[in-house]
Amino acid sequence: MAYSCANCGASLPEPPWFRRDTCTKCSSDLRSCVNCDFYAPGSYNECREEQAERVTDKEHATTCDYFRPAKSSRNSIEDKKSAALAELDRLFKK
């Protein structure tokens, strides 16, 4: 399974990731909410894990016990969303 940085999309090493581990390309923290499988903007505390404590800074290192590396990055999700919106524009704006 390939992992990628939520900040820049660079390939990441296989987990485990520790609190001080950073992306080799952009130096962002790997063990952060935005790289977690439970990260869900729009949900309560932006986290799908109900027992996790609130983390205010989602892009910096966390000590959350529920951290689980995400299999797809936020960048790839946003890219898919952008592609879908562009396709809809193409279909309906003629």
* Pick from 54, 58, 61, 68: nearest CA to 22: 61
CA quadruple 51, 53, 18, 57: dihedral, nearest 10:
140
Selection from 47, 50, 41, 48 nearest residue 81 by Cα: 41
pTM exceeding the 0.85 threshold for the entire prediction: no
In tens, the pLDDT along 7-64 reads 988 999 999 999 999 999 999 999 999 999 999 988 899 999 999 999 999 999 999 9
